[in-house]
Structure 1
Amino acid sequence: MIPARRVAAAPISWGVCEVPGWGHQLSAGRVLAEMRELGVAATEFGPEGFLPADPGERARLLGSHGLRPVGGFVPLVLHDPDRDPLPEAARVLDAFGDAGATVVLAAATGLDGYDGRPALDDRAWTTLLRNLDRVTACAAERGHRAALHPHVGTVVEDRADVERVLDGSQVPLCLDTGHLLIGGTDPLDLAREAGDRISHVHLKDVDAALAEAVQTGRTPYTQAVRDGIYRPLGRGDIDVRGIIGALEKTGYDGWYVLEQDTVLTGEPAPGAGPRDDVRACLDFLAPREEEDA
């Protein structure tokens, strides 16, 4: 379905997350070795501290595992009129190393975790949209790309938020199939309607019943992740094949990053654990014989 050279992984699929107390955190050595064994082409960086801070040392470590760097997920507070996000954005971007990476922005609330979010007034929205364009320009000046990631528990979560960003800024989007669905946006519709604004993709599959429980407030987001809201591709309720087909028709030629967020309670046995779900996702994406004919 997708050439292997365009499929990347992300440490969150191994439970490695920036949220304090998220769960057991695997070492970079184990995660990168399992990525290599699975044959993925590249990876996002993961949270600060997971990989070496020095760009050269980080690149050498990834290269020793046969992995290319894709960029990384960066939560920034972008809506506060009294807080300038540009110095932090510049610091992160300067650590990305060689040009061509993507800074995947989350419009963070300023609080830990993703189980709640504030409602923004017009002043905060004006600030957010202006800062999105400022960070996009900051990235471009350094030869990188910015992409806003609509994300549960951030200030850009639901369909109205996404439309306001599309109408009021120039920032490209990260199409995260899972977070969009949980937030109330059909990712297939977005791929069809705004394909020209999508510059990065996170592929997830989702249990729709658990997604509805998060939408209605019956289940906190973090608990839903523990309960298995994210499923290996093809085993949930998202039309992953349809989304990929729609993106490819628009000329999308970027990365498809596998992201099945998970929470670990302890160290998996050797040869077991999250790698099994990543393997299932890779199998789902492998070109079929009839597609190669």
Structure 2
Amino acid sequence: MIMDRVAGAPISWGVCEVPGWGHQLGPEQVLPQMRAVGLVATEFGPEGFLPRDPDAKAETLRAHGLSAVGGFVPMLLHDSASDPLPAVDRELDGFVTAGAGTLVLAAVSGLDGYDTRPELDEAAWHTLLRNVDRIAERARRRGVNAVLHPHVGTMVESRTDVERVLSGSTVPLCLDTGHLLIGGTDPVELAKAVPDRVTHTHLKDVDVAFADRVRAGEISYTDAVRDGMYRPLGAGDIDIAAIITVLEASGYRGWYTMEQDTVLTGTPTGEGPVADVRASVEYLRGLGL
């Protein structure tokens, strides 16, 4: 069974690093709800959600019966004038102290949010690819697995971007089923093609009609999330069961972090976002994998 490797993420409760994203819930609400639906671990969430001190961060999770998976770390990687390694070292100090083994790296654009991004020239691509390999090696020396997360609105978004990373670097990937699909990559086919490069997984389900509109530029990513592009696992158009089956058959033993990016327009009424998280957990349990 994979359920002992299924983790939560604060973004499923609308907790996000993007300024103005929406109403932000606190850990005193999110963490007990994670545990109540049966999750055993979580990613950290954005800076400021959990205590900054690594010991206090780890203790906060332990107090709620959760272990630390790691976290999403957005970094500017394509600028030759900016060396990311000092910031990576500071992140790794915290990860090691908190017992978190996975650094989920995103090659951000340098702009706020994920609705637009610039185009990179060859020199910038060379810098980006060199930096992801440098970061992965630095993390490896500290006992942390650094993975690159293809993500809408970052410099690694499209199928062409993903293929460039695969051919031009050795960094492992975070297989984020939703962001890959929205960016134009079939996550099932990618899992089949390069299972050896996938060492971390974000499970999302997506309404493909929204994904098509985002890709076509008809609606912004943020608006699509707010309007319900992400669905509980099993309720969208991604074959989640096939992805897990392919990965497990290839020997994958990493985490499956459930993420349904959510924008809260105010204080939740009723159960709030935990209802969708619970539905996703029940879906995974029902697979019997």
Contact map agreement 1:99 1:144 (CA 8 A) in 2? no
Match of 2:243? 243
- How far the C-alpha of 1:88 sits from its partner, in A, is 0.9
Task: Please tell me the residue identity of whatever aligns with 1:118.
Answer: P
SS in 1 for 2:16: coil
How many residue pairs are counted as aligned between the two chains? 288
Contact map agreement 1:152 1:182 (CA 8 A) in 2? yes
- Cα separation, 2, equivalents of 1:8 and 1:71: 10
CA deviation profile, 1:94-117 (whole Å, cap 9, x unmatched): 111255511100000011100011
Match of 1:201? 201
SS in 1 for 2:267: coil
SS in 1 for 2:124: helix
CA deviation profile, 1:131-178 (whole Å, cap 9, x unmatched): 001110111121111000000000000011101101111100000000
Task: Please tell me the residue identity of whatever aligns with 2:157.
Answer: E
Match of 1:146? 146
Contact map agreement 1:203 1:259 (CA 8 A) in 2? yes
Task: Please tell me the residue identity of whatever aligns with 1:23.
Answer: G
Task: Please tell me the residue identity of whatever aligns with 1:78.
Answer: L
- Cα separation, 2, equivalents of 1:37 and 1:234: 21
SS in 1 for 2:72: strand
- How far the C-alpha of 1:39 sits from its partner, in A, is 1.4
- How far the C-alpha of 1:236 sits from its partner, in A, is 0.6
Contact map agreement 2:5 2:255 (CA 8 A) in 1? yes
- Cα separation, 1, equivalents of 2:53 and 2:29: 20
Task: Please tell me the residue identity of whatever aligns with 1:124.
Answer: A
- How far the C-alpha of 1:37 sits from its partner, in A, is 1.0
- How far the C-alpha of 1:226 sits from its partner, in A, is 0.5
TM-score normalised according to structure 1 size: 0.96
Match of 2:30? 31
The yes-or-no answer on 1:220 pairing with 2:220 is: yes
CA deviation profile, 1:212-245 (whole Å, cap 9, x unmatched): 0000000000000001000001111111111111
Contact map agreement 2:234 2:283 (CA 8 A) in 1? yes
- Cα separation, 1, equivalents of 2:99 and 2:233: 31
Structure 2: gaps of 5 or more residues: none
Task: Please tell me the residue identity of whatever aligns with 1:170.
Answer: T
- Cα separation, 1, equivalents of 2:234 and 2:25: 26
- Cα separation, 2, equivalents of 1:68 and 1:14: 18
- Cα separation, 1, equivalents of 2:71 and 2:250: 24
- Cα separation, 2, equivalents of 1:36 and 1:244: 22
- Cα separation, 2, equivalents of 1:51 and 1:19: 16
SS in 2 for 1:243: helix
Match of 2:13? 14
- Cα separation, 2, equivalents of 1:40 and 1:84: 36
- Cα separation, 1, equivalents of 2:44 and 2:99: 15
TM-score normalised according to structure 2 size: 0.97
RMSD: 1.1
Contact map agreement 1:99 1:143 (CA 8 A) in 2? no
Match of 2:54? 55
The yes-or-no answer on 1:137 pairing with 2:137 is: yes
Match of 1:69? 68
- Cα separation, 1, equivalents of 2:234 and 2:248: 18
Contact map agreement 1:99 1:142 (CA 8 A) in 2? no
CA deviation profile, 1:258-280 (whole Å, cap 9, x unmatched): 000000011124x6101000000
Match of 1:88? 87
Structure 1: gaps of 5 or more residues: none
Moved over 3 A (4+): none
- Cα separation, 1, equivalents of 2:117 and 2:71: 22
Identity among equivalent positions (%) equals 62
- How far the C-alpha of 1:55 sits from its partner, in A, is 1.1
